[in-house]
Structures are given as C-alpha cells and as structure tokens.
Structure 1
Amino acid sequence: MEGQSEVQEQKRKATGKRRLSSSSSSRSSSSSSNGNASADVEMATATLSVPKEPCRSFSGRKRSNHKNKKSAKKDAASRNTQGECVESSSVVDASPSQEANRSTSQSPLDASESSTVSDPSPAPEPEVAMVVAAASSREDVPIIPGLSDNTALVILALIPLSYHQPLKRVCKKWQRCLTTVESTNEVLDMRKFQGVKETWVFLLASARQQRQQWRAFDPVYNRWRCLPQCPCDYTFNSCDKESAVAGTHLLVTGHSSTGTTVWRYDLHTNEWGKAAKMLQSRCLFASASHGKYAYFAGGSCEGSVISSAERYNSQTRKWEPLPDLHVSRKWCSGCILDNKFFVIGGQGSEKQALTSGEYYDESENRWVIVENMWPAARTQPPGQTAPPLVAVVKDQLYAADASTMELNAYHKGTNTWRPLGPVPYRSVDASGWGMGFKAVGDEIFVIGGSSDRGNGTFCDQIHAWPPAQMQNADGWRLVGQLPNTSGFIYNCAVMIV
C-alpha cells in the first residue's frame, strides 16, 4: 500500500510539471504574437462587419432570430407612431416664436436618434405651406390648378387693378404674372387682348376739415377710394398743381422746395414715387393722355412763354422730346382727337389771346397749325377765365364756354362750333375755375363747379351727359355726390386702362 501511494504521488508531481511547462509555453507564444495584434484586430473587425447567415442546424437559434424579428417590427411600429405624433404636433402647434420653432424642429431629431441605425423610422412629410410654395415656383405647375394658363390669365385679367398688389402674395407664380418686367406684364397684356377696360376719375378737391387728398371714383360701380397720402413736402402740397395720365400712372406736377417736381402714382402698385424730371420745367401748359403716353406742350418757365413739347412714356418711365410748337403759348388746353395731340387757344408771348390751335402729326414728326380753331378766345381773356374746357367723345370734340357755360360741338370739316345748350352749372362767378370737364367713356362728366345760387358757393355733385343719345345738352343725369369736399376741383384726370 505504501508503495502504491508513493507511485501515485510521483505521478501527480509529474502531471503538475507538465501543466506548468504548458502554461509557460502559452505565455511565451502569446508574447511572441504581440507584434501581429493589429492585424488580428483588423481581421476580427472585418469578420464582424460581414453579415452571417443564421445557422440552420440549431433550432434554438431559429427561435431566437424569430423573436428578434418580432421585436424589431414592434420597435419600428412604435417609432412610426412616435414620428406621426411629432409631425402632427409640429403642424398644429406651430408658433412664430423662436422657442416654439426650436422645440418643434428638435422633436423629429430626437425621435430619429432614439431609433437604431439598421432600422430608421421614416422622416415626417414637409408642411403644406412649404409644398405649395415649392410647387408654385415650378414652371410645370399651372397658375390655377385644374385650368390652363391661358384661362387663368383671363380670370386674373378681370380682377380690378387695385387688387393686383395683394394678389401677388398668393404664390410666386401669381407674383410673376402680376409684376411688370422689362415693360411686359402677362396679366396687363391679357387685359389688352381681351379688351378689358377699367375707368377711374382722379380728383383733388377742396377739403372741408382735413388735408387735401387724392380720391379715385369708379363710375361703373359708383364707388370711391382714397389714394395713399403723397409723401411730398409742404411746398408741393400747397402749390398749384397740374395732372395727367399715362398708362397706369397718374402724374402730378408742381413746385417743391427743390424746384419743379413730378410725383407719380401707380394704380397697379397703389404707391407714390418721384418721377424723372421733365426735360424742361413748365407750368400752365397743355396736356393730354393717350395710351402709355402723356403729352405736354407750351406753358410758362421762369416767367417766359415757351413753345417746347415732350411726352412721358409710362413703360420706360422716361421723357421723350417733341418738336416745338409753331406759336409759344400758355393757359392753353390739350386733347387727343383722331389719334393726334391738339393744343388749343391760350395766351401768346405778347399776352395776346390766341384763337389758333395746332396738332402733332406723329407720322411726320411735326406740328400742323389750325387757324381760328378757338374763336371764343376773343371773349375770354386768358388768365381771367379758365383755359378752354374741352373733352373728346368718340372722336367728337366738345367744349364749355366759361363765360356763358354753354356746351358746344366742334365740326372738323368746317372748323366751326355749334351750340348745344347749357351745362348743369353756370360757373359764371368763378369764370370756369374749379370745375372738372372730362370725357369718361361715352359720356361727358361735369364735376363740381359753381352752383346756381352764386355767391361763391360750389356744387358737390357729378353730372353726366351721353352725346350719342342726345342732340342737345339736355337730359343730364346725376352720377353721384362728392365726399367731404366743398365742390371746388383743383385737379382732375381720367384713366382708362
């Protein structure tokens, strides 16, 4: 027994020695492999990055993978629900404050960070306003959905010009259609093509208890609107002004603290702005409107009677020179007759009353004089009475005699005038001053003027007379009442666009 125990003890010692030697050899081998550690790490990383197919020899792994897929689907469903909640809250709870915008924009980022990289949640859709703004800027999107662009332009052309400015804010497509670029405007061009016309009568009248302000009257719908206050200085606001129309521009000339100034009101933008200065400063001139042009001729400059002429182009916003008149004249009147710019009557450089008239022939770029066109000048000394009150309806010239307030019609073939009858107001006390006498469409409008009572009182009414329906000046109809004015008209201009 003792011999066997000794033999077993020797075997255990031998076994322990072998284990010690194997462990030391493993340590030496591990130390020798330190030089290749980086290569082993790279290989291990590459091995982990390669997706392995699940081992199909073990049913336990199948079940575990199946459970993982179910849990992944549940996580994705929960993340989708969370994303929808974030999207709805960002649309409904939108706030203009920076803190609110910061909180709503941060929520989708938090939701995406909480999800795993292998299964990201779908990003929330953009807001409706952003979609509309992006779509409206594309060329392939129609102006009005469901309609062709040509039909949409016809619809926009029927909208009054005074509403075009707020309509530009609807979308970029509408802003482009309603904006004039390089003398081209799609809606205005469509208005001309369709024959859409809009009439406005601009008035500057004496105010009862407030500062003078330009007003516009729509005779079709019998409505008034106040223009924005002109940002002119006190000198210009209190001086004698003259007005004319070119396209959608109302031009008002006068003297400011810096000299002769022209202010321009644009009906399309509903804004005032300074226009370029005239080629020659003038006042007491003749003017007339014809399409995109406003014509000016004669007048007075620094006390001298002048004969120069020019016109304003509303598309280029520039002044263009015209040949000089045959006769220097001021206190004269202008009109467009047979597509020609006529200058009638006035006072010459020797303070003589002028009975002649002359017109500008654009085809030959010259003025043609018409003798004895205004014989009433013999009984109406210029300066003491108002300039000739003239208006043209369907290429027929009419005039009101300031001394008798009789309406007369001009016969072009014989160069004579035929009396038609009295106008609604005598206006004898004011010698024709303070009354608007204009052609509006197919009618003649008499605006304000002296009342029949005399004593310097004025009538705050508008009357109209249709020449085509009446042989004589009877049947004047009441159009409307002048608001907040005593009836004395300083300036009057008619715009038909």
Structure 2
Amino acid sequence: MSRGREIEDKEVDVEEINGDDFDESEYEGEDYYDNEHESDYEVLEEIDRRVKIRRCDSNPCFDHGRLDLNLDIRPSQDADYWSNPPHLSDELGLISLPRIPTEVETMIIARIPLLEIRKFCSVSKPILTVIKNGDIMMERKRIGVKEASVFMLASGETNWWAFDQQFLSRKTLPNLPSDVTFKDADKESLCAGTQLLVFGKEAEGPVIWAYEVLLNKWFKSTSMIEPRCLFASASSGDFAYAAGGTCLATFEILNSAEKYDPDTKTWDPLPKMKEKRRMCSGVYMDNKFYVLGGQSQSGGVLTCGEVYDENKNTWVKIPGILTGLTNSDSPPLLAVVNNELYTFETSTNCLLVYLKDSNSWKDLGQIPVRADSGRGWGVAFKSLGNELLAIGGSNITPWGRGMTVYTCSPNPNAQGLEWKLLDDGRHSRSPFVMNCTVMVA
C-alpha cells in the first residue's frame, strides 16, 4: 500500500512539520534523508556538503556526456535559504535548495553542445540574460570549447536543417519569416559568430535574414554596404568576409569587399580588390581572406586569385592559382583544413590539394559524391573542423540517388584518402543542396 493511500484510509490530517513534530522513522531509507540527523537544518547542511560537481578530464575536445568542472556549489551565508529555513513537506517529501549561482550556471551551460543551448532560454531570466549578453560564449572561449555545426537547405525543403559535427543530431530551424519572393529566389549563406546569415531578395529589395543559434530566432540583419549576389565569402569564426559578386542595384560586377561583425551587426568596407569578379569563391587560410576564380567583367574565366592581409590592409594578387582546373559554370568548390587548401574537381569528382610552394595542385583520388552531373551546382564541399565534408548525390551507396554525407581527414602527402559515410541517402531529402554553411563556435 502506498503511503498516500495509507494516509487516506486512516483519515489522518496533514499538519506542517516543525521542529519536534518531525518523525524521523517515517523517512528511514529515503534518498534525501539520512536518519543520523535530528533536524531540518542538519539535513540541509549534509545535502549542501554532498552537492558537488566532480572534476572531469579538462580536454578542450570534450565529451558532451560529461561536464568539465571542478567546483563546490555552496550557498551564500546571507541567502534567503538561511534567513528563511525551508521545511520538509510530509505529504510530498520535497526539499527546498538554494539557487545555483549565475556564475556556476554559466560555466555549466558553456559546456553544453552549441545546438542545445537554446533549450535553456526559457529556464529562468538570469540564464536568458547570460545567453543574450555573451557571457556563455565568453566562457566557451575561455575554456577552449569550440565545435562545428552544419546548416543546410535542400531542394524542395521549406525549412533549414542544423546538424552537429558527427551528423548524429538533426534539428529543424523555425520557419524563416520572409515573403514569398525571398523563399522562391536564389539565396546565399555564411556564418559569423553564432549567426547564420542568409542573403536574398524580397519584394521590397535585398535583405539579409539572420538566425541566432543561441536564441533559436530569425531576425532581419543589417544590409551590406553594396548588396550583391554571386560573391565570394568566408568566415574566420568571429567575423565574416564578402568580396566581388554582382551588384543588385546596377548589375555591375564588383571588386569591393566588406567585413561583418555579428556583435554589432554592422558591415565595414575593406579595400577594393585588384580584379572585378563574380561567381568566385572565398576561404579563410593562414589568417587571411582568399578570393579565387570567378568571371571577369567581360565574362572571361579568371584563374587568378587575391588574398587580403588584414594586418597590412592590402590585397595581393596570386597569378594562375587555378590554372589546369576545370572551368565550370559554378564557383570553385574550395575548403581549408589545417591551413591546407583543397578543391573538389567538378569534371572528375576528384579531390585536389594546393601545393603552396609550387603554385600547383596534387590529385588525392576520387570523392564518393558526384559533382559532375550538376557541373558543381547542388553539391556542398566544406571544412568541418579537422575534416572535409562532402554532401550530394552518389552512385556508390545502395540507396542510389538520395543525399549522401561523407567526411574524411585529409593528408596532403597521402596517395588516397578514406571517406567515412555519415548518411547513406535513404532519407527523403533531395540530393540537390541549395545552401550549406558551417558554423564554428
């Protein structure tokens, strides 16, 4: 018979437990009470002594299943906890405990996977405050926690998807509250800080929609100084860079460049490139912003590149960096891992690594995702931490034409690479990738 039923049968009136009226024998064996104590105060003092967060391995590449803390959580001596001592409820068996200090909550939440932090916004106002004011991200930087998340929009889908680095967790983002024009038009995307930026055009003109991953919300961000499309872009993690492209107001091909600060939500002008170019690609390598390939004002294919050195605030031209590669109708598929530049050759589906000393490319073998069928369109090729990420259709898996996801740890000196299959294409998502970008935060 349950204790509640026993009380009901005997018609016992429930009275407030206070001091000597507390019967220890009724609570023998309960997890929250040790019968060697004689009062509520001693029970709570014992709980306070035992409530600790154990120290775990402090490797920055942490296991999300553990918390890397070495803290004793103890209440303030002048807290309401002591001035108004709690009482044990005879009916429910509850204990009132002091609130965890905000500093400790920040340390705990900072160690949670990035895509899961949004769930804590509704827990309490103090937690929402430390998420909004940047304390969580400052703590992540202090302890060296950084992870990659993938954001993707596939053909036929109405919502963006977010994946963790291992593609074990998949989340649907809220509906992007744009007009029909924006939803049906071509879009471009990149990440800066904890914001996903989606560039497009609404009925009233160019617009940038931003998704804040910590708050799980979309908002309209500040427009570029020169709104553009088909531009090169890259992210250093904290900032985003854009250069070249086609001006949406005049349709002129641009050589201007801009830098986005997610904290202030503003764009700052950078010096102009030496060449006007559109349908070019950008990467961030050796702490510099590279812009490669594209089409010139006359429509010719550019095999040269340019690199922006922020310390010197200048662009330097790199002649012939893409010489010998296929001139497709799409921007070059480029990715950087460990400051090594790789490209996805769209005619052969091969992976090439750039040899900086000789300004040439080395073939590292085939990628199990097809880029040739769409001449480079509909395929995602990105850096994902210390790995390369390839997403698109494949003829290798038994599921045939579905969207497949592969990663590999590249080695410029290897003769061949081993690609790891993360998604075999059996899902209903289209194999054609509309937009894909990686956030590292």
What TM-score do the two structures reach when normalised by structure 2?
A: 0.73
Matched, 1:490 2:437: no
* Residue pairs, 1:420-431, within 5 angstroms: 420-431=364-375
Query: Is this contact kept in 2: 1:248–1:268, CA < 8 A?
Result: yes
- 1:272-298 deviation line (CA, Å, top 9, x unaligned): 111111100211110001122111000
Aligned counterpart in structure 2 of residue 396 of structure 1, from 335, 340, 350? 340
1:474 aligns with 2:427: no
* Contact map agreement 1:429 1:450 (CA 8 A) in 2: no
Q: For 2:396 and 2:130, locate their aligned partners in 1 and report how far apart those are by CA, in whole Å.
A: 50
Secondary structure of the residue that 1:295 maps to in structure 2?
strand
Residues 141, 358 of structure 1: CA spacing in aligned structure 2 closer, same or farther, 3 A cutoff? farther
2:105–2:127: 8 Å Cα contact kept in structure 1? no
Aligned-partner SS, 2:228: coil
1:58-457 equivalences in 2 (<5 Å): 145=98, 151-180=104-133, 185-207=134-156, 211-220=157-166, 222-301=168-247, 302-376=250-324, 379-381=326-328, 384=329, 386-449=330-393, 451=395
Tell me if structure 2 keeps the 8 A contact 1:338–1:395. Answer: yes
Q: 1:156 to 1:224 in 2, by over 3 A?
A: same
Question: What is the deviation of 1:228?
Answer: 0.4
Q: Following the alignment from structure 2 to structure 1, what is the Cα–Cα distance between the partners of residues 348 and 227? A: 34
Task: For 1:485 and 1:170, locate their aligned partners in 2 and report how far apart those are by CA, in whole Å.
Answer: 34
One-letter amino acid matched to 1:416: S
CA distances 1:436-478 after superposition (whole Å, capped 9, x unpaired): 001101111110145469xxx8441101111149813432110
Q: Would the aligned equivalents of 2:200 and 2:206 in 1 still touch at CA under 8 Å? A: yes
Offset from partner CA, 1:19-67 (integer Å, 9 cap, x none): xxxxxxxxxxxxxxxxxxxxxxxxxxxxxxxxxxxxxxxxxxxxxxxxx
Change (3 A) 1:448 1:149: same
Residues 425 and 176 (structure 1), Cα distance of their counterparts in 2 relative to 1, 3 Å cut:
closer
One-letter identity of the residue aligned with 1:422: Q
Q: Which residue of 2 aligns with 1:57?
A: none
Distance 2:131 2:79 in 1: 16
TM-score, normalisation: structure 1:
0.65
Paired residue type of 1:380: N
Query: Is the CA contact 2:148–2:438 (under 8 Å) kept in the aligned structure 1?
Result: yes
Structure 1 residues 148 and 234: alpha-carbon distance in aligned structure 2, compared to 1, 3 A threshold: closer
Alignment size in residue pairs: 347
Amino acid paired to 2:126 = K
Give distance in 2, aligned partners of 1:328 and 1:215: 34
- The structural deviation recorded for 1:268 is 0.8
Bigger relative CO (Cα 8 Å, ≥ 6 apart):
2
* Equivalent position SS for 1:375: coil
Q: Write 1 or 2 for the structure with the bigger share of helix.
A: 1
AA aligned opposite 1:471: A
State whether residues 426 and 452 of structure 1, in contact with CA within 8 Å, keep that contact through their aligned partners in structure 2: no
8 Å CA contact retained: 2:378, 2:434: yes
Of stretches 216-225 and 262-271 in structure 1, the one that deviates more from structure 2 is: 216-225
Is the 2:277–2:294 contact (alpha carbons within 8 Å) kept by the matching residues of 1? Answer: yes
SS in structure 2 of the partner of residue 330 of structure 1: coil
Measure the CA separation in 2 of the matches of 1:394 and 1:308.
28
CA–CA separation in structure 2 for the residues paired with 1:168 and 1:235: 32
Q: CA deviation at 1:399?
A: 0.5
| Structure 1 pair 168–206 and aligned structure 2 pair: CA distance change class (3 A) | closer
Q: 1:166 to 1:445 in 2, by over 3 A?
A: closer
Per-residue deviation at 1:167?
2.1
| Aligned-partner Cα distance in 2 for 1:486–1:237 | 17
> Displacement of 1:155 after TM fit?
1.4
Shift in Å, 1:149: 6.0
Q: Shift in Å at residue 412 of structure 1?
A: 1.4
Deviation at 1:146, TM superposition (A): 8.4
For residue 393 of structure 1, report the CA deviation from its aligned partner: 0.4
The percentage of counterpart residues that share the same residue type is: 39
Separation (CA, whole Å) in 2 of partners of 1:171 and 1:255: 37
Point out the more displaced range, 269-278 or 422-431.
422-431
SS in structure 2 of the partner of residue 154 of structure 1: helix
The residue number in structure 2 matching 1:462 is 405
CA contact (8 A) 2:394 2:404 kept: no
CA distance in 2, matches of 1:221, 1:459: 16
Q: Distance in 2 between matches of 1:140 and 1:391?
A: 55
Give the corresponding residue for 2:29.
none
Shift of 1:154: 2.2
User: Secondary structure, in 3 states, of the residue corresponding to 1:445?
Assistant: strand
- Output the aligned Cα RMSD: 2.5
CA distance in 2 between counterparts of 1:256 and 1:145 reads: 51
In the superposition, relative to structure 1, how do residues 153 and 344 fare at CA in structure 2: closer, same or farther (>3 Å)?
same
Provide the rounded CA distance (Å) in 1 between the counterparts of 2:152 and 2:198.
11
Q: SS at the partner of 1:192? A: helix
Which AA in structure 2 matches 1:234? V
**Superposed CA offset, 1:358-387 (max 9, x none):** 11110111111111111145x415xx2x21
